[in-house]
Structure 1
Amino acid sequence: MSEMRIVVGGALLHRGRVLAARRSAPAETVGRWEFPGGKAEPGETPPQALVRELREELGVEARALERIPGAWPVRAGLELHIWTAELLSGTAAPLQGHSEVRWLSAAELHQVDWLDQDRFALPEVARRLSSAV
């Protein structure tokens, strides 16, 4: 049995909103929304992977804060963990794998069509956004 590989997603929080990114690839996910991120590389911790992925995909510097409870099997050998993160610098732009980004308030979270695997984190993200105001 091979080791489970972690895919890390970032609930990037800034000024009472969270960043959602619309997928531009692969075909089965185009047009749906996610918390941006990607696979942790060998020897990389999930927080390190999240910081790297947010830099590559969105052009921002961020700091991983804490993991949202729960996980979602993406496919065999891959499991999604979502972490909260804070924006340190930069303006988020869809550089890699995305066609659009939006900052959403807790009340706006359900206005986009989230990927199934990201939905488990929405109640906790909403709670954190509501308590941050």
Structure 2
Amino acid sequence: MSGTTTGQDVVSTPLTDDELVQCRRYMGYPAMGGINSGQQSWRFFQVYGFNEWRMRNLAPDECVQARTFLTQCQTLETAIMGASDNLDTDQAAVWHHNRSEVQDRFGLYNRWRRQLCAFLGVPPGPGLRPANRITI
């Protein structure tokens, strides 16, 4: 991730704007939009506002853990994209393609995304919930 710092800085620095964007995305929350837009919809939803407050006020050690989750989610997401290279091959010589590879990778990826939500104490966002689930 371009916004992730390394070394000792990781311990004491808050999440960068890029990391906040990735956090929201991995947690299933929509883009926040421009600060000056006047239409900051997340402010009108208690969970969204709490999520923003939590991400921006992590203790230094919590920032390290959040970055670990972000790095793992990015790695798993990239692996899903790479798995598409094998979708056209079922068998090559003795090699057999795992037909459920993409589904298995998505399951692992979504598990880490939910763990990030649990770590931050925020329910998964709309993008991480089943499409047929209605929340009131």
TM range (shorter): under 0.3
Flag the structure with higher strand content: 1
Q: What TM-score does the superposition give when structure 2 sets the normalisation length?
A: 0.25
Q: Going by fraction, where is helix more abundant, 1 or 2? A: 2
Give the TM-score of the pair, scaled to structure 1: 0.26
Higher-Rg structure is: 2
